[in-house]
Structure 1
């Protein structure tokens, strides 16, 4: 653990790294800083968070590091008490960091108890949806985790307020996007930070279907890339979170080891293209390699929903549709035949 003046990690610090830090520091006490109100900057950057220990370790970023001088000491002090601080960024510093213009923010620092720090850290590291909720004066901390925010950790000091906060956050998660919002509930005002990870799709193999899949992902605002070398695919899958997706196009048995490692690790969506015959042969190889029936139940093969797809573009639609359904815990059936909420 570092000592002396705390320094935040750089703007490239990922939520994965922030989540790992929260878990490491939970037992020692963690303070967090969030954006309570912003003025200027030209764009809204939601879900920003800086965490710190009283001893000086810090992680996360607020407005691309331009507010570190205020945010990091506030987070360190917030281990013991809630407080707010005004911070401002000059035009030159803002433009240098890639922001649209100068601006300022009201920062809220407050303690994050160990249970909530661990729960939030695990969710951010795994790449699953999570929400951090407090009153606007930093009293209490409620953490919700899981695709539907079904995990509830901590509280705001009142069962009535907790129930209202959970309902508000679950309403926001249906938008499918990371947000920071102030929400009025039951006569109180809450600050809600919600993180909804964007799927990152790795296409293993080349061809028209892969090209169409990358194009479809771009349309959805998802990250996507293509790799054809076994070593590159293995390295990527080894670092998967629950928000990551593998679509294996290559039928070569040498890629079986990627499926074996991915399924055993149990993170992300693992799918493989191929005919029924190809799937059957692959299944026998994977069983012979030591995978169990439970392991294979997590493999989406042949990948995609049964839409009657014929063209590469239609096949790409069927694949991303299954990813959406899996992330939402839905079966991918017609809305008219279900009682599920429409639009999430």
Structure 2
């Protein structure tokens, strides 16, 4: 839901009401992961998605009903063997969806969390799941140096805060159950909103521009860096979030990275790519790739070894980057890179689905993936 929060707050600031439907849990094969959301304005405008289209119409109608009644709903959708055209997930999975109106208390919680999200700091949003005849949904937002909101129970608030803080280091969605004694059990939906992972593109050329565009499309925070100021301009890289003029290895040495960070070296010039690759391969990154011909790669491997990079670290390098799709243009190269990145990130083969058996959609969280849910 993180990507919808600015629009939700805009609608609320304008005096409009809206409802949010969020995927709470997925069982089996489903097109979107927990945390995906659909937001519905009181005028009928809809943003986002909870199922890639399978149950959007029904969830939209539920959101309109919740806006009218003010009562949150928790509903399940699954495949119907008796009627393939009935409301259900045609891919065979099941999803649970929370539908709630964004009332004043929830809007205040989201507004308090938004500055942390905008500053690329982690946030955890916790919402109680409604039970039949139970209280309204309570919401708590937690960030590194603060929190706001309440579940409606002081004891539950303490438990939620204790469980939310460790989740600031993750990018995940989970449901936890709490026993409140005389009040019975309560379930809480936690959404950990980690900052978008970084894609560092080194080199200011047409291939780098295409990679920066597809990286932004995939949900990465994209930085383009090159030492040549003439070519390294925002106008040439409109899809990048940052454009930096610096020597690549010097910039990377001073830059914070993590296990989700992706590095693409597009210069295929030894004086640029060997130093930055030596720096990158010594870090625990999600992916390190480099553009270049077979001859360039053979020379590059020798240069990296001579630069003191260990054989184990050299083996991490994806070069020439991308899958064997037969493309050659910058745009085709970017698609090839993106396909390999997704396959590496998810631990899949990159082979055609038509030649494989087994589930298409991943089960559980996708480690290192961008926060690409709505």
TM-score band (shorter)?
0.5 to 0.7
Shift of 1:34: 2.0
3-state secondary structure, aligned to 2:8: helix
**Is the counterpart of residue 178 in structure 1 residue 168 in structure 2?**
no
**Is the counterpart of residue 140 in structure 1 residue 104 in structure 2?**
no
Shift of 1:136: 1.6
Task: Kindly report which structure 2 residues correspond to 1:76-95, keeping only aligned pairs within 5 A, or say none.
Answer: 76-79=64-67, 80-89=70-79
Task: Kindly report which structure 2 residues correspond to 1:143-182, keeping only aligned pairs within 5 A, or say none.
Answer: 143-145=141-143, 148=144, 150-174=145-169, 176-179=170-173, 181-182=174-175
8 A Cα contact 2:31 2:51, kept in partner: no
The one of 235, 240, 246 aligned to 2:223 = 246
**Is the counterpart of residue 52 in structure 1 residue 40 in structure 2?**
yes
RMSD of aligned alpha carbons: 4.6
**Is the counterpart of residue 19 in structure 1 residue 12 in structure 2?**
no
Shift of 1:68: 0.6
The one of 185, 188, 205 aligned to 1:228 = 205
Task: Kindly report which structure 2 residues correspond to 1:261-272, keeping only aligned pairs within 5 A, or say none.
Answer: 272=246
8 A Cα contact 1:20 1:122, kept in partner: no
3-state secondary structure, aligned to 1:118: helix
For 1:269 and 1:185, the matched residues in 2 are separated by 47
| Alignment match, 1:105 | 95
Shift of 1:120: 5.6
Shift of 1:20: 3.4
3-state secondary structure, aligned to 1:134: strand
For 1:178 and 1:100, the matched residues in 2 are separated by 25
Shift of the 183–202 alpha-carbon distance from structure 1 to 2, 3 Å rule, reads: same
For 1:126 and 1:52, the matched residues in 2 are separated by 26
For 2:66 and 2:172, the matched residues in 1 are separated by 24
| Alignment match, 2:247 | 273
**Deviation by residue 1:259-290 (Cα, 9 ceiling, x = unmatched):** 9x99xxxx6796843588xxxxxxxxxxxxxx
Structure with greater helix percent: 1
Gaps of 5+ in 2: 131-135, 181-185, 257-273, 286-374
Shift of 1:201: 0.7
**Deviation by residue 1:76-127 (Cα, 9 ceiling, x = unmatched):** 3334221233333458989xx9x89313333221222322343566666676
Shift of the 35–251 alpha-carbon distance from structure 1 to 2, 3 Å rule, reads: closer
State how many pairs are aligned. Answer: 247
| Alignment match, 2:190 | 192
8 A Cα contact 1:128 1:243, kept in partner: no
For 1:274 and 1:41, the matched residues in 2 are separated by 42
The one of 267, 280, 285 aligned to 1:316 = 280
8 A Cα contact 1:271 1:303, kept in partner: no
TM-score by length of 2: 0.52
8 A Cα contact 1:36 1:136, kept in partner: no
Shift of 1:64: 1.8
Shift of the 15–182 alpha-carbon distance from structure 1 to 2, 3 Å rule, reads: closer
3-state secondary structure, aligned to 2:42: coil
8 A Cα contact 2:126 2:191, kept in partner: yes
